[in-house]
Amino acid sequence: MDQQHAIWTEKYRPKTFGEVTGQAEVVRRVSGFVEGKNMPHLLFSGPAGVGKTTLALVVARTLFGEGWRQNLLELNASDERGIDVIRTKVKDFARTRAIGDVPFKIIYLDECDALTKEAQQALRRTMENYTQTTRFILSCNYSSKIIDPIQSRCTVFRFRPLDAADLAPIVDAIAKAEGLTVAADARSALCEVSGGDCRRLENLLQSCAASSKRITKELVYAVASVAQPKEIAQILAHALAGRFVEARDLLLATMTAHGLSGTDVIKQIQKAVWDLDIPSERKITLVDKCGEIEFRMVEGSDEFLQLEALLAQFAIRHHAA
Protein backbone atom coordinates (compact mmCIF):
# COMPACT_ATOMS: atom_id res chain seq x y z
CA MET A 1 0.00 0.00 0.00
CA ASP A 2 1.33 3.45 -0.86
CA GLN A 3 2.53 5.36 2.19
CA GLN A 4 0.83 8.52 0.92
CA HIS A 5 -2.53 6.75 0.68
CA ALA A 6 -2.90 7.84 -2.96
CA ILE A 7 -6.32 8.35 -4.49
CA TRP A 8 -6.81 5.21 -6.52
CA THR A 9 -9.29 6.83 -8.88
CA GLU A 10 -6.37 8.81 -10.33
CA LYS A 11 -3.75 6.13 -9.83
CA TYR A 12 -5.64 3.53 -11.86
CA ARG A 13 -7.33 5.83 -14.36
CA PRO A 14 -7.08 4.36 -17.89
CA LYS A 15 -4.56 6.07 -20.18
CA THR A 16 -5.61 4.54 -23.52
CA PHE A 17 -8.85 3.65 -25.29
CA GLY A 18 -8.17 -0.05 -24.80
CA GLU A 19 -8.15 0.35 -21.01
CA VAL A 20 -11.59 1.98 -20.83
CA THR A 21 -14.09 -0.68 -19.79
CA GLY A 22 -17.85 -0.92 -19.97
CA GLN A 23 -18.46 1.62 -22.75
CA ALA A 24 -17.35 -0.31 -25.83
CA GLU A 25 -19.65 1.36 -28.37
CA VAL A 26 -18.91 4.87 -27.14
CA VAL A 27 -15.16 4.19 -27.15
CA ARG A 28 -15.33 2.75 -30.67
CA ARG A 29 -17.07 5.82 -32.08
CA VAL A 30 -14.96 8.38 -30.23
CA SER A 31 -11.68 6.66 -31.12
CA GLY A 32 -12.75 6.83 -34.79
CA PHE A 33 -12.86 10.63 -34.55
CA VAL A 34 -9.49 10.75 -32.82
CA GLU A 35 -7.78 8.54 -35.39
CA GLY A 36 -8.71 11.04 -38.09
CA LYS A 37 -7.51 13.93 -35.88
CA ASN A 38 -10.78 15.66 -36.55
CA MET A 39 -13.84 15.57 -34.34
CA PRO A 40 -17.00 17.54 -33.63
CA HIS A 41 -17.98 18.92 -30.26
CA LEU A 42 -18.87 16.02 -27.95
CA LEU A 43 -21.49 15.73 -25.22
CA PHE A 44 -21.03 12.91 -22.71
CA SER A 45 -24.16 12.13 -20.70
CA GLY A 46 -24.58 9.53 -17.95
CA PRO A 47 -24.40 8.79 -14.22
CA ALA A 48 -21.35 9.48 -12.06
CA GLY A 49 -18.29 7.25 -12.11
CA VAL A 50 -18.85 5.52 -15.45
CA GLY A 51 -15.91 6.96 -17.44
CA LYS A 52 -16.94 10.33 -18.89
CA THR A 53 -13.98 12.32 -17.57
CA THR A 54 -11.64 9.38 -18.13
CA LEU A 55 -12.58 9.14 -21.80
CA ALA A 56 -12.16 12.90 -22.27
CA LEU A 57 -8.64 12.71 -20.84
CA VAL A 58 -7.84 9.67 -23.01
CA VAL A 59 -8.92 11.69 -26.07
CA ALA A 60 -6.55 14.50 -25.09
CA ARG A 61 -3.64 12.14 -24.34
CA THR A 62 -4.10 10.31 -27.65
CA LEU A 63 -4.39 13.46 -29.74
CA PHE A 64 -1.62 15.56 -28.20
CA GLY A 65 0.76 13.03 -26.67
CA GLU A 66 3.14 14.53 -24.10
CA GLY A 67 1.78 18.03 -24.71
CA TRP A 68 -1.81 17.16 -23.81
CA ARG A 69 -1.86 19.36 -20.70
CA GLN A 70 -0.97 22.49 -22.72
CA ASN A 71 -3.79 21.80 -25.18
CA LEU A 72 -6.52 20.91 -22.68
CA LEU A 73 -8.53 23.24 -20.45
CA GLU A 74 -10.45 21.29 -17.84
CA LEU A 75 -13.13 23.08 -15.82
CA ASN A 76 -15.75 21.83 -13.40
CA ALA A 77 -18.83 23.82 -14.25
CA SER A 78 -20.54 23.05 -10.95
CA ASP A 79 -17.85 25.11 -9.20
CA GLU A 80 -17.49 27.78 -11.88
CA ARG A 81 -20.98 28.05 -13.27
CA GLY A 82 -21.45 31.73 -14.05
CA ILE A 83 -21.40 33.58 -17.34
CA ASP A 84 -18.11 35.30 -16.44
CA VAL A 85 -16.26 31.99 -16.59
CA ILE A 86 -17.43 31.44 -20.16
CA ARG A 87 -16.55 35.01 -21.14
CA THR A 88 -13.07 34.94 -19.60
CA LYS A 89 -11.40 31.57 -18.99
CA VAL A 90 -13.12 29.65 -21.78
CA LYS A 91 -12.96 32.40 -24.39
CA ASP A 92 -9.33 33.31 -23.65
CA PHE A 93 -8.28 29.68 -24.04
CA ALA A 94 -10.43 29.11 -27.13
CA ARG A 95 -9.07 32.03 -29.14
CA THR A 96 -5.46 30.74 -29.22
CA ARG A 97 -4.15 28.02 -31.51
CA ALA A 98 -3.08 24.55 -30.43
CA ILE A 99 0.54 23.54 -29.87
CA GLY A 100 1.55 20.72 -32.22
CA ASP A 101 0.18 19.22 -35.44
CA VAL A 102 -3.46 18.91 -34.28
CA PRO A 103 -5.42 21.90 -35.60
CA PHE A 104 -7.50 22.43 -32.46
CA LYS A 105 -7.35 22.44 -28.67
CA ILE A 106 -9.88 20.85 -26.31
CA ILE A 107 -11.98 22.47 -23.60
CA TYR A 108 -13.50 19.94 -21.24
CA LEU A 109 -16.44 21.20 -19.16
CA ASP A 110 -17.38 18.70 -16.47
CA GLU A 111 -20.87 18.76 -14.91
CA CYS A 112 -21.98 21.34 -17.43
CA ASP A 113 -25.63 20.72 -16.54
CA ALA A 114 -24.85 22.93 -13.51
CA LEU A 115 -24.20 25.93 -15.78
CA THR A 116 -26.81 28.66 -15.58
CA LYS A 117 -28.99 29.22 -18.65
CA GLU A 118 -27.21 32.52 -19.32
CA ALA A 119 -23.82 30.79 -19.19
CA GLN A 120 -25.08 28.10 -21.57
CA GLN A 121 -26.21 30.78 -24.03
CA ALA A 122 -22.77 32.40 -23.86
CA LEU A 123 -21.17 28.98 -24.32
CA ARG A 124 -23.25 28.40 -27.43
CA ARG A 125 -21.85 31.53 -29.07
CA THR A 126 -18.30 30.65 -28.03
CA MET A 127 -18.66 27.19 -29.56
CA GLU A 128 -19.75 28.81 -32.82
CA ASN A 129 -17.10 31.52 -32.99
CA TYR A 130 -14.03 29.42 -32.18
CA THR A 131 -14.82 26.16 -33.94
CA GLN A 132 -11.66 26.52 -36.09
CA THR A 133 -9.31 26.42 -33.10
CA THR A 134 -11.22 24.61 -30.34
CA ARG A 135 -13.33 21.53 -29.75
CA PHE A 136 -15.55 21.24 -26.69
CA ILE A 137 -16.20 18.08 -24.71
CA LEU A 138 -19.14 18.61 -22.37
CA SER A 139 -19.99 16.20 -19.58
CA CYS A 140 -23.28 16.04 -17.69
CA ASN A 141 -25.43 13.72 -15.62
CA TYR A 142 -28.68 14.87 -17.23
CA SER A 143 -28.68 15.95 -20.87
CA SER A 144 -32.20 17.35 -20.43
CA LYS A 145 -30.64 20.24 -18.47
CA ILE A 146 -28.54 21.26 -21.48
CA ILE A 147 -30.24 23.76 -23.77
CA ASP A 148 -31.20 22.46 -27.21
CA PRO A 149 -28.87 24.82 -29.18
CA ILE A 150 -25.86 23.28 -27.43
CA GLN A 151 -27.12 19.73 -27.88
CA SER A 152 -27.62 20.34 -31.60
CA ARG A 153 -23.97 21.46 -31.92
CA CYS A 154 -22.63 18.28 -30.30
CA THR A 155 -22.47 14.60 -31.04
CA VAL A 156 -24.16 13.04 -28.01
CA PHE A 157 -22.78 9.91 -26.33
CA ARG A 158 -24.78 8.26 -23.57
CA PHE A 159 -22.86 6.29 -20.94
CA ARG A 160 -24.45 3.42 -19.04
CA PRO A 161 -23.80 2.29 -15.45
CA LEU A 162 -21.09 -0.36 -15.22
CA ASP A 163 -22.23 -3.88 -14.37
CA ALA A 164 -20.46 -6.54 -12.31
CA ALA A 165 -18.75 -8.00 -15.38
CA ASP A 166 -17.09 -4.61 -15.98
CA LEU A 167 -16.21 -3.90 -12.35
CA ALA A 168 -14.88 -7.31 -11.26
CA PRO A 169 -11.72 -7.15 -13.46
CA ILE A 170 -10.97 -3.70 -12.02
CA VAL A 171 -11.18 -5.10 -8.49
CA ASP A 172 -8.90 -8.00 -9.43
CA ALA A 173 -6.33 -5.73 -11.11
CA ILE A 174 -6.15 -3.36 -8.13
CA ALA A 175 -5.98 -6.26 -5.67
CA LYS A 176 -3.05 -7.75 -7.56
CA ALA A 177 -1.19 -4.45 -7.78
CA GLU A 178 -1.75 -3.57 -4.11
CA GLY A 179 -1.21 -7.05 -2.66
CA LEU A 180 -4.77 -7.49 -1.41
CA THR A 181 -6.78 -10.67 -0.93
CA VAL A 182 -10.38 -10.12 -2.02
CA ALA A 183 -12.86 -12.91 -1.34
CA ALA A 184 -15.33 -13.78 -4.10
CA ASP A 185 -18.34 -12.65 -2.06
CA ALA A 186 -16.48 -9.44 -1.16
CA ARG A 187 -15.96 -8.73 -4.85
CA SER A 188 -19.68 -9.22 -5.45
CA ALA A 189 -20.47 -6.94 -2.50
CA LEU A 190 -18.17 -4.22 -3.87
CA CYS A 191 -19.89 -4.37 -7.27
CA GLU A 192 -23.34 -4.32 -5.66
CA VAL A 193 -22.71 -1.48 -3.21
CA SER A 194 -20.98 0.72 -5.80
CA GLY A 195 -24.10 0.68 -7.98
CA GLY A 196 -22.18 0.79 -11.26
CA ASP A 197 -20.00 3.71 -10.11
CA CYS A 198 -16.34 2.82 -10.66
CA ARG A 199 -15.13 5.81 -8.67
CA ARG A 200 -17.13 4.72 -5.64
CA LEU A 201 -15.92 1.15 -6.03
CA GLU A 202 -12.27 2.24 -5.98
CA ASN A 203 -12.81 4.51 -2.98
CA LEU A 204 -14.57 1.70 -1.10
CA LEU A 205 -11.80 -0.74 -1.91
CA GLN A 206 -9.16 1.74 -0.79
CA SER A 207 -11.00 2.37 2.48
CA CYS A 208 -11.27 -1.37 3.09
CA ALA A 209 -7.56 -1.82 2.34
CA ALA A 210 -6.72 0.81 4.94
CA SER A 211 -8.28 -1.50 7.55
CA SER A 212 -7.06 -4.86 6.30
CA LYS A 213 -5.30 -6.42 3.33
CA ARG A 214 -7.82 -9.24 3.49
CA ILE A 215 -11.10 -7.87 2.12
CA THR A 216 -14.24 -9.68 3.29
CA LYS A 217 -17.91 -9.15 2.56
CA GLU A 218 -18.52 -8.00 6.13
CA LEU A 219 -15.74 -5.41 5.89
CA VAL A 220 -17.15 -4.04 2.63
CA TYR A 221 -20.63 -3.54 4.09
CA ALA A 222 -19.19 -2.02 7.27
CA VAL A 223 -17.02 0.49 5.39
CA ALA A 224 -19.84 1.34 2.98
CA SER A 225 -22.22 1.88 5.93
CA VAL A 226 -24.99 -0.19 4.36
CA ALA A 227 -26.95 -3.07 5.80
CA GLN A 228 -26.16 -6.56 4.55
CA PRO A 229 -28.85 -7.98 2.23
CA LYS A 230 -29.60 -10.76 4.71
CA GLU A 231 -30.41 -8.16 7.39
CA ILE A 232 -32.92 -6.39 5.14
CA ALA A 233 -34.35 -9.75 4.07
CA GLN A 234 -34.85 -10.73 7.71
CA ILE A 235 -36.69 -7.46 8.45
CA LEU A 236 -39.01 -8.04 5.50
CA ALA A 237 -39.54 -11.67 6.45
CA HIS A 238 -40.81 -10.62 9.89
CA ALA A 239 -43.10 -7.97 8.36
CA LEU A 240 -44.52 -10.28 5.71
CA ALA A 241 -45.21 -12.91 8.36
CA GLY A 242 -47.24 -10.38 10.34
CA ARG A 243 -44.60 -9.96 13.08
CA PHE A 244 -44.65 -6.17 12.96
CA VAL A 245 -43.01 -5.49 16.35
CA GLU A 246 -40.08 -7.82 15.60
CA ALA A 247 -39.62 -6.20 12.17
CA ARG A 248 -39.70 -2.69 13.67
CA ASP A 249 -37.20 -3.53 16.42
CA LEU A 250 -34.81 -5.20 13.98
CA LEU A 251 -35.10 -2.24 11.61
CA LEU A 252 -34.20 0.21 14.38
CA ALA A 253 -31.28 -1.95 15.51
CA THR A 254 -29.97 -2.24 11.92
CA MET A 255 -30.24 1.50 11.27
CA THR A 256 -28.47 2.28 14.55
CA ALA A 257 -25.71 -0.27 13.98
CA HIS A 258 -24.86 0.99 10.50
CA GLY A 259 -25.77 4.66 10.91
CA LEU A 260 -28.27 4.47 8.05
CA SER A 261 -30.61 7.22 6.93
CA GLY A 262 -34.19 6.54 5.96
CA THR A 263 -33.50 7.02 2.26
CA ASP A 264 -30.61 4.53 2.46
CA VAL A 265 -32.92 1.92 3.97
CA ILE A 266 -35.81 2.50 1.59
CA LYS A 267 -33.56 1.96 -1.41
CA GLN A 268 -32.27 -1.31 0.01
CA ILE A 269 -35.80 -2.45 0.82
CA GLN A 270 -36.95 -1.65 -2.70
CA LYS A 271 -34.19 -3.83 -4.14
CA ALA A 272 -34.88 -6.62 -1.67
CA VAL A 273 -38.59 -6.77 -2.56
CA TRP A 274 -37.81 -8.25 -5.97
CA ASP A 275 -36.00 -11.19 -4.33
CA LEU A 276 -38.91 -12.08 -2.06
CA ASP A 277 -40.75 -15.36 -2.58
CA ILE A 278 -44.16 -13.78 -3.11
CA PRO A 279 -46.42 -13.34 -6.18
CA SER A 280 -45.41 -10.67 -8.69
CA GLU A 281 -48.63 -8.73 -8.07
CA ARG A 282 -47.71 -8.29 -4.40
CA LYS A 283 -44.16 -7.23 -5.33
CA ILE A 284 -45.58 -4.50 -7.57
CA THR A 285 -47.85 -3.26 -4.79
CA LEU A 286 -45.01 -3.18 -2.26
CA VAL A 287 -42.62 -1.36 -4.62
CA ASP A 288 -45.35 1.20 -5.25
CA LYS A 289 -45.65 1.68 -1.49
CA CYS A 290 -41.83 2.07 -1.24
CA GLY A 291 -42.02 4.90 -3.76
CA GLU A 292 -44.77 6.65 -1.80
CA ILE A 293 -42.86 6.40 1.49
CA GLU A 294 -39.62 7.62 -0.13
CA PHE A 295 -41.47 10.66 -1.51
CA ARG A 296 -42.82 11.47 1.96
CA MET A 297 -39.30 11.31 3.43
CA VAL A 298 -37.88 13.57 0.73
CA GLU A 299 -40.66 16.05 1.49
CA GLY A 300 -39.51 16.19 5.11
CA SER A 301 -41.52 13.57 7.01
CA ASP A 302 -40.00 11.74 9.97
CA GLU A 303 -37.88 8.93 8.53
CA PHE A 304 -38.39 6.23 11.15
CA LEU A 305 -42.12 6.93 11.38
CA GLN A 306 -42.44 6.52 7.62
CA LEU A 307 -40.41 3.30 7.66
CA GLU A 308 -42.69 1.99 10.40
CA ALA A 309 -45.63 2.83 8.16
CA LEU A 310 -43.99 0.89 5.33
CA LEU A 311 -43.49 -2.18 7.52
CA ALA A 312 -47.10 -1.86 8.62
CA GLN A 313 -48.14 -1.97 4.98
CA PHE A 314 -46.09 -5.15 4.51
CA ALA A 315 -47.80 -6.69 7.54
CA ILE A 316 -51.27 -5.56 6.38
CA ARG A 317 -50.65 -7.16 2.98
CA HIS A 318 -49.85 -10.39 4.84
CA HIS A 319 -53.17 -10.38 6.69
CA ALA A 320 -55.06 -9.40 3.54
CA ALA A 321 -53.47 -12.30 1.67
> Quick one: average pLDDT of 192-212?
89
Yes or no: say if 192 and 169 are a contact pair by the CB < 8 Å rule. no
Out of 91-95, 148-152, 280-284, the most confident range is 148-152
The CATH T-level fold of domain 23-158 is Rossmann fold (3.40.50)
pLDDT in tens, 9-19: 677 788 889 88
> Quick one: average pLDDT of 244-253?
91
Yes or no: say if 127 and 137 are a contact pair by the CB < 8 Å rule. no
Count other Cβ atoms within 10 Å, centred on residue 65: 12
pLDDT in tens, 157-174: 999 999 888 999 999 999
User: What is the longest distance spanned by two Cα atoms in the chain?
Assistant: 74
Question: What's the CATH number for 229-320?
Answer: 1.20.272.10
Q: Given the DSSP bridges, would you call strands 181-182 and 214-215 parallel, antiparallel or unpaired?
A: parallel
> Quick one: average pLDDT of 271-283?
87
Q: Tell me, what's the pLDDT at 28?
A: 92
Lowest-pLDDT range, 27-36, 118-127, 139-148, 247-256?
118-127
Nearest to 1 by CA among 123, 177, 120, 137: 177
For the entire predicted model, the pTM comes to 0.80
Q: Is residue 8 very low, low, confident or very high in pLDDT (cuts 50, 70, 90)?
A: low
Q: Where are the domains of the chain?
A: 23-158, 164-224, 229-320
Q: Is residue 155 very low, low, confident or very high in pLDDT (cuts 50, 70, 90)?
A: very high
Q: Tell me, what's the pLDDT at 122?
A: 83
The CATH T-level fold of domain 164-224 is Helicase, Ruva Protein; domain 3 (1.10.8)
Q: Tell me, what's the pLDDT at 5?
A: 44
Contact residues for 84 (Cβ-Cβ < 8 A; gap 6+): none
Yes or no: say if 5 and 210 are a contact pair by the CB < 8 Å rule. yes
Q: Does the pLDDT of residue 36 top 90, yes or no?
A: no
